[in-house]
Chain A
Amino acid sequence: MIRIEKISKDLGEFFLRDVNLEIDDGEYFMVLGPTGAGKTILLETIAGIYRADSGRIVLNERDITDVPPRERNIGIVYQDYVLFPFLTVEENIGFGLKSRKVAKREIKHRVDELANLMGVSHLLHRYPGTLSGGEQQRIAIARALSMEPNVLLLDEPLSALDPQTSERLRQELKKVHSVMKTTTIHVTHSFEEAFLLGSRMAVMNKGAIIQVGEPNDVFRKPESEFVADFLGVGNLFQGESIINNGVAYIDLDGIKIASTTLMPGSVHVSIRPEDILVSTAEIASSARNSFKGVIQSVIDVGTTVRIAVDVGINAPFAVAITKQSFEDMKLEKGKEVYITFKASTVHVF
């Protein structure tokens, strides 16, 4: 278990302020936040690259606040890979074991094993400069895993990759985690990654942790306007998608939502609250999705009003409308309304 207690660190442009986190053994923990939130410096402070100005870091009941990086056994993988360009892939993966003075044959054996796990066995004699981003990132992950680290830190590992590569590597991260069970802290600015990989997540902004919880809870119950705005989700459902005539229909246990994203099988669906129209009567329009429901709650958040509309499925729809239209339509709790949104606004992943 790794426990971060009131860690502060000031590097000028980037800083941490009283960060508290507790991550269990074997957990896949996500840290989500915008650029400049202090995510990278949080990881680098955990790794020991920066010494915290105040606070403590406790790893498996041992205070490691002042322990140098090499004695922490915490691995780090950066967005830009940081592979040693003058070493072959094999030497890169074996770099840490060589520091530990592991016997050559044993290093070879471990490198082969890891290369196999990450699917880079055919690249062992190449130099990193000649490889694609996805390949380099797999090698960087293998190199970090070679130390059997207590904690694996991933700093936006998928952000520099194209969407297909990013998705494949994301699935592999999940697979690797289920095999190795390494405690992982993964930093990202993509809510999809956080949702698909994390067992728990923290949202960070301006050097502070804003909210911690299971992704589902954080997405559904943002505790601050920042989290709600940053995640921009509000509506997140799971269902079975069936493709019919070029349109995907996702069955959400009661209603069927149409989407232009054609991804069959078990999927997640999200709709931004501001993409949903509310009307007091059924409207005829080109939008494929229209459902009748009852206003369950009303939250006033300044210039906009967030209302929750129960349409008879397990969770209500969050809808954001301007205060002006809220007042004009005389909406209130318990009132019957129609919600309407276009198939193209339904995000499937």
Chain B
Amino acid sequence: MLSSLLLASFILTMIICVVTHTTPHALITSILSEEIQFAIRLSLTTAVVSTILCIAISIPSAYALARYNFFGKSVVNTILDVPLALPPLVAGVGLLIFGMTSFGRGLAEVGLDFVFTPLGIVIAQFFVNVPFMFRILRGTFQSINPRYEHVAETLGCTEAQAFWRVTLPMSKNGLLAGSIITWSKGIGEFGAALMVAGATRMKTETLPISLYLNMSCGELNLAIATATILIIISLISLFVFERYGGFTRVF
């Protein structure tokens, strides 16, 4: 019990150290600065877009792996978990090299240029976070008795309608939990995004990148402002996750 109290106070001390490092006035001025405002907007946008991408890709694949048996299923299951184990920096390098292949350059030519662009941030967040969304949704779909879909089909639904009208509403909590995790991890994504999108001020400067840039050139007030915002976002997501989706097992 003592060790858990020590651990808790250690965590709390860390957070308080960051938040109280500057004066409230300096904090507010920094948050309102153009650079931090840009970082906030870019982080929110890229995290929302990558979360939507994660949902769109995870729903069909998680459903297929929860409901159907097919050749190579266990291999697919394992491969989908790889980004979870991979250091984000390595994932970023992989994406960067992929972007420089002829296929990647072809994509860039049709407008999907993700090397050193904001799009790269989205791709990096997606790649690193999609296993979380996928695992939560797979668990959610597995926990829903297929009989609900069977009954819906006898009540005039096609398979797709049964999914849309029954399975999806029943997965609401899992979807919510998955979205919060994916989104908040997207906000904090650093390593992979740094490799793919680089750290260009006012171009690919998300909150974590901004923290890194300002820290390295001694702009402590700006760095603390970014850190404070990141702490607030994490705490809110943690609260919402515990409140609405805490039952879902991630691992």
Contacts and interface: CB of A to CB of B under 8 A. Distances in A.
Interface of A: 44, 47-49, 68-70, 72, 74-76, 78, 80, 82, 84-86, 95-96, 99-100, 143-144, 146-147
25 contacts: A44-B150, A49-B154, A68-B153, A69-B150, A70-B153, A70-B154, A74-B154, A75-B154, A76-B151, A76-B154, A78-B151, A80-B147, A82-B147, A84-B166, A86-B169, A95-B165, A96-B154, A96-B155, A96-B156, A99-B155, A99-B156, A99-B157, A143-B155, A147-B155, A147-B156
Nearest to B159: A68
Interface of B: 145, 147-148, 150-158, 161, 165-166, 169-170, 172
Q: Which are the 10 A-B pairs with shortest beta-carbon distances?
A: A99-B156, A96-B155, A69-B153, A49-B150, A86-B169, A82-B147, A70-B156, A69-B154, A82-B151, A76-B154
Contacts of A80: 145, 147
Query: Of A99, A143, A144, which is in contact with the most chain B CB atoms at under 10 Å from its CB?
Result: A99
A239 B170 CA distance: 51
Q: Specify the main secondary structure of chain B where it touches its partner.
A: helix
A65 B138 CA distance: 32
Query: Of B148, B152, B156, which is in contact with the most chain A CB atoms at under 10 Å from its CB?
Result: B156
B64 to A, nearest CB: 18
A148 to B, nearest CB: 12
Nearest to A76: B154
Contacts, number: 61
Contacts of B165: 95
B148 A82 contact: yes
B172 A84 contact: no
B150 A76 contact: yes
Nearest to B147: A82
A137 to B, nearest CB: 13
A323 to B, nearest CB: 47
Given A76-B151, A99-B161, 7 more contacts: A47-B154, A70-B156, A78-B151, A96-B154, A99-B156, A100-B156, A146-B155
A14 to B, nearest CB: 14
Nearest to B150: A49
Given A70-B153, A70-B156, A78 B147 contact: yes
Query: Of A70, A75, A85, A144, which is in contact with the most chain B CB atoms at under 10 Å from its CB?
Result: A70
A100 B156 CA distance: 7
A95 B155 contact: yes
B110 to A, nearest CB: 39
A85 B167 CA distance: 11
A70 B157 contact: yes
A23 B131 CA distance: 51
B123 to A, nearest CB: 35
A146 B155 CA distance: 9
Contacts of A49: 150, 153-154
B145 A86 contact: no
Contacts of B161: 99
A86 B152 CA distance: 14
A84 B156 contact: no
A100 B152 CA distance: 12
A166 B214 CA distance: 72
Nearest to A86: B169
Given A82-B147, A84-B166, A86-B170, A95 B154 contact: no
Contacts of A85: 170
B218 to A, nearest CB: 54
B153 A86 contact: no
B156 A82 contact: no
Contacts of B145: 80, 82
Nearest to B156: A99
Nearest to A153: B154
A270 to B, nearest CB: 34
Contacts of A96: 154-156
Nearest to A95: B155
Contacts of B158: 68, 70
Contacts of A99: 155-157, 161
B209 to A, nearest CB: 41
B175 to A, nearest CB: 13
Nearest to B155: A96
A272 B166 CA distance: 47
